[in-house]
């Protein structure tokens, strides 16, 4: 959990940056770190697939990439034809993915169903916390994506429900997981820090701080460890070398969309739709990585 201590320090530092820089700069900086570290953490999925999915090891790389891209295209198609459903699936699947990344090492020996449920509820709580402090911005982005206005004024209720469910499951885990008991006070501090960041910062910066500092960088750490056995300068360099082509292709595709839709409000919708489309296969890959049997 040492890595999350750095997340705390950098999150608090982000408050200073947020205080001194104008909102327009924070907006652009938020996009920048999402498109660098955020997208990078999913750019090596093909390499992880080759290691995790034994039945694909003898398949040609073209087949693996085609299979991955098919899931991305299906996800993108959902956003075109049934955006409300696609957005709901994105929030639920991403919520689980965020919770899995954060809690997997702590709950690894817990009851499988309790583990999955807790990770899902934790992720939902994080989403609700972000949404609660930025209702109008979230409503606008949802309307841009779905062409349909959704009233989020009752988000406080969803936040309360997810929080209560987290407390109930925490009481169970306190009696069944020693590591969870040891980590609980730190985890409460983390949530407090995140709540302060979400309250003070704008939506894009809030999402960027969580997505990069609390999710992407810890995920990169786990992926590099899984692929190379340890994290050091050489393995980080090797990871970046293998991920660079896929990362660059993703950025070029997104920039092409930005060129076509110059309105930044539309671009927000495109960005989150883009993240959602590449999230669906990425969640499968990381789930398999965490559960692969040597």
Mean pLDDT for the stretch of residues 228-237: 94
CA dihedral 232, 234, 237, 243 (to 10 degrees): -90
pLDDT at 236 over 90: yes
CA 222 – CA 109 distance, rounded (Å): 18
Is pLDDT larger for residue 245 or for residue 117? Answer: 117
Q: Could you tell me if residue 229 is left (phi over 0), alpha (psi between -120 and 50 degrees) or otherwise beta? A: left
197, burial (CB in 10 Å: exposed 0-12, middle 13-18, buried 19+) = buried
Domain count, the chain: 1
pLDDT digits (tens, 9 = 90+) for 170-187: 999 999 899 999 999 999
**CB contact set of 188 (below 8 Å; sequence gap of 6+):** none
pLDDT at 210 over 50: yes
pLDDT at 293 over 60: no
pLDDT at 55 over 70: no
Confidence bin at 294 (pLDDT 50/70/90): very low
Confidence bin at 253 (pLDDT 50/70/90): confident
pLDDT at 61 over 90: no
Q: Which domain holds residue 111?
A: 2-291
pLDDT digits (tens, 9 = 90+) for 67-116: 777 887 787 788 778 888 888 988 999 999 999 999 999 998 889 999 99
Across all residues in the chain, what is the average pLDDT? 87
CA 89 – CA 283 distance, rounded (Å): 12
Q: What is the DSSP letter of 202?
A: -
Alpha carbon 80 to its chain's center: 22
pLDDT digits (tens, 9 = 90+) for 112-170: 999 999 999 999 999 999 999 999 999 988 888 888 888 999 999 999 999 999 999 99
CA 52 – CA 112 distance, rounded (Å): 20
**CB contact set of 92 (below 8 Å; sequence gap of 6+):** 120, 124
């Amino acid at each position: 959990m040492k890595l999350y201590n750095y997340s705390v320090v950098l999150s608090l530092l982000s408050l200073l940056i947020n205080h001194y820089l104008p909102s327009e700069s924070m907006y652009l900086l938020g996009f920048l770190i999402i498109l660098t570290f955020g997208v990078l953490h999913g750019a090596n999925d093909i390499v992880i697939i080759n290691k995790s999915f034994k039945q694909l090891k003898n398949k040609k790389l073209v087949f693996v990439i085609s299979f991955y891209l098919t899931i991305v295209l299906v996800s993108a198609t959902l956003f075109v034809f049934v955006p409300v459903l696609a957005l709901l699936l994105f929030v639920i699947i991403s919520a689980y993915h965020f919770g899995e990344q954060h809690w997997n090492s702590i709950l690894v020996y817990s009851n499988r169903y309790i583990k999955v449920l807790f990770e899902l509820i934790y992720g939902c709580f994080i989403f609700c916390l972000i949404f609660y402090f930025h209702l109008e911005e979230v409503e606008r982005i949802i309307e841009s994506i779905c062409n349909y206005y959704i009233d989020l004024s009752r988000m406080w209720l969803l936040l309360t429900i997810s929080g209560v469910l987290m407390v109930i499951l925490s009481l169970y885990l306190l009696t069944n997981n020693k590591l969870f008991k040891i980590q609980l006070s730190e985890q409460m501090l983390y949530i407090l820090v995140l709540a302060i960041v979400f309250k003070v910062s704008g939506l894009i910066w809030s999402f960027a701080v969580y997505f990069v500092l609390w999710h992407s960088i810890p995920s990169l750490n786990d992926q590099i460890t899984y692929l190379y056995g340890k994290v050091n300068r050489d393995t980080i360099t090797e990871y970046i070398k293998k991920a660079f082509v896929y990362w660059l292709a993703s950025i070029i595709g997104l920039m092409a969309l930005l060129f076509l839709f110059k309105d930044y409000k539309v671009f927000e919708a495109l960005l989150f739709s883009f993240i959602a489309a590449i999230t669906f296969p990425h969640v499968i890959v990381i789930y398999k990585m965490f559960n692969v049997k040597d």
